Structure 1
Amino acid sequence: MKTQIKITLALFSLVLIASCSNKTEEASNKIVAVTDFDKVQSENEDLVILDVRTPEEFSEGHIKDAILINFMGDDFQSKIENLDKSKTYLLYCKAGGRQEKASIQMESMGFENILLLDGGMTSWLAEGKPTEQ
């Protein structure tokens, strides 16, 4: 019985350590709800909207004034390196996965002011927000 308790405690400890170590790889950025987008935009004069989807997705419709930097493109890192790190960036993709990965990469490059659009373009469209083509 004591062996079983020790094994259980050891497994619990490993799970706890593993879950804590994964946190360092996650972005620590603020999530912005679609309904709060206008407020966030008005409060951040230096806000840059980055669409990290593919050019094809971008051409189907994007948020007004968004800049396309394709996360899947070979030149993603070189384009990001040329951005002003003192500005605030709001990233979005289709549903949230690429924007999260892009923000992690940007954080590792020294960007500190990164916002993520909750649910990406899928949520934007679901709220009936306008797009440009």
Structure 2
Amino acid sequence: MKKLQDYVSDAKAAVEAITVEAARGLHGRDDVTFIDVREPPETAKGKIEGAEAIPRGTLEFAVDGPQPNPALSDKSRTYIFYCAAGGRAAMAAARAKEMGFEDARAIDTGYPEWAKQGGPTE
């Protein structure tokens, strides 16, 4: 039987994990969308400036549900997923790739490290 860490490990093996420094270099580009997959109580305390908040549990619906999120409409863009520590982001990026996204990456550490390193927040 698989455990949570098995799913996270599989996801991390399937996607490109990037550092906060690398993500900061992509922030603000017109061809890059940041997706915060944390839960609403977490994002209420702050998120990466300009990021779209889509909780991990609703990602598939936001991509292919009855009312898809327009932020996920262009599967040829670069999408940078992040969470609090990297696990949910890796799982979201892996699922996005399975759903046809060409370039889905995950920040390997998460929002707290982004904020600590002075990345723009809102």
- Does TM-score exceed 0.5, indicating one fold? yes
The sequence identity of aligned pairs, in percent, is 33
CA deviation vs aligned residue, 1:34-91 (integer Å, no higher than 9, x gap): 122232236x53101100000111110000000011013xx33120234221111000
User: Is 1:60–2:45 an aligned residue pair?
Assistant: yes
**Larger Rg computed on CA atoms:** 1
Alignment match, 2:114: 124
Alignment gaps of 5+ in structure 2: 1-6
Q: Structure 2 CA distance, aligned partners of 1:99 and 1:37? A: 13
Alignment match, 1:38: 24
TM-score where L is the length of structure 2:
0.75
List aligned pairs for 1:32-111, cutoff 5 A.
32-41=18-27, 44-72=29-57, 75-81=58-64, 82=68, 83=72, 84-111=74-101
CA contact (8 A) 2:15 2:104 kept: yes
Alignment gaps of 5+ in structure 1: 1-21
Tell me the matched-pair count. 107
CA contact (8 A) 2:35 2:52 kept: yes
Aligned AA for 2:62?
K
Structure with greater helix share of residues: 1
Aligned AA for 1:39?
G
RMSD in angstroms over aligned alpha carbons? 2.2
1:41–1:130 Cα change, 3 Å = closer
1:130–1:45 Cα change, 3 Å = closer
Shift, 1:108, TM fit: 1.1
**Equivalent position SS for 2:27:** helix
